[in-house]
Structure 1
């Protein structure tokens, strides 16, 4: 469906995007809170999350770009959203993981033409205690709302560009 659904819907009032959501399993209890925000924003915009979103879990953030690429290339999705939490474990590994994931997501988007959005958070400081866990859990809900709004706005603007190109 990548761009097909979006193009088809430009000739009618229907807007029914299909969005894949790839979520890292590290800190799953925090990361999956983004799904709440995604669902809430879709509902605000009159879309049904059950028919709009397909969720895919992957082991960690490093695995997100490859899965995003496969989903984008499948033709079944108009956009891909990535969700993850990359934390500083004190060994500086997080810096190259951050860079690899974000660069990989941009590459997927540019190589496939399917928009890719990031709710992969890379906080400078995260400590595994209640205060930080609660803060980041709430923050992921907000990020889910923001990334859903960005995805829908982008898909609508791409639909308008397609209409102009005809």
Structure 2
């Protein structure tokens, strides 16, 4: 996700409607996850996506994101879904299983529904709740929020171009 072009949705000829995007954020470690949400929303609002076209949802933790993503994708209301969360290594081996389950489920949702699902669900290998890590990961989530917003915009635009080409 680090290399993005600047194509925006308005550049896609024949787009019949502005993109509708659902943003799902886990409230676990919301002080950090909200940094991704804020930068994601700011980047989307700089794009041709009207603010009213972005709906926000919350879940307790990252593990709860895929089910909501699936319900939203199946609703037919959204052109894309973006998930934000933090799965931390709390000293027990569980975090790797949770992270893998969440990412695998998000991939399955997009493949099963044809609605792209972007992930800013991050799993730092070593996270401790002290000031240095809080600051580092907060800054990192700001960057990831921008990157996931750009990936979302590019993906929707690319899929619209494919749909137009297939309709010919």
Q: TM-score, normalised by structure 2?
A: 0.88
The two structures, once aligned, show a CA RMSD in angstroms of: 1.6
1:11 counterpart (14, 19, 23): 14
Partner of 1:16, secondary structure, is: coil
**1:16 deviation in Å?**
1.4
- Give the number of equivalent residue pairs: 157
Which residue does the alignment assign to 1:78? Answer: 79
Shift of 1:115: 0.2
**Where in structure 1 are there 5+ consecutive unaligned residues?**
1-5
**Hey, what does 1:117 align to over in structure 2?**
118
Q: Which residue of 1 aligns with 2:26?
A: 24
List per-residue Cα deviations over 1:38-59 (Å, max 9, x = no partner): 12212332433x3131111001
Which 4+ residue blocks in structure 1 deviate beyond 3 angstroms? none
Q: Conserved in 1, the CA contact under 8 Å of 2:26 and 2:61?
A: yes
- CA-to-aligned-CA distance 1:46-85 (integer Å, 9 cap, x gap): 433x313111100111100001000100111110001000
> What is the CA–CA distance in structure 1 between the aligned matches of 2:103 and 2:54, rounded to whole Å?
21
Q: Verify: 1:35 aligned to 2:37, yes or no.
A: yes
Normalising to structure 1: TM-score of the pair? Answer: 0.89
Shift of 1:35: 1.7
SS of the aligned residue for 2:78 comes to: coil
Q: Distance in 1 between matches of 2:37 and 2:91?
A: 28
The aligned residue for residue 66 of structure 1 is 67
Q: Deviations over 1:90-113 (max 9, x none)?
A: 110101101100000000000011
1:107 maps to which residue? 108
- Structure 2 partner of 1:163: 164
Q: Distance in 2 between matches of 1:113 and 1:148?
A: 18
Cα distance between partner residues in 2 of 1:29 and 1:17: 28
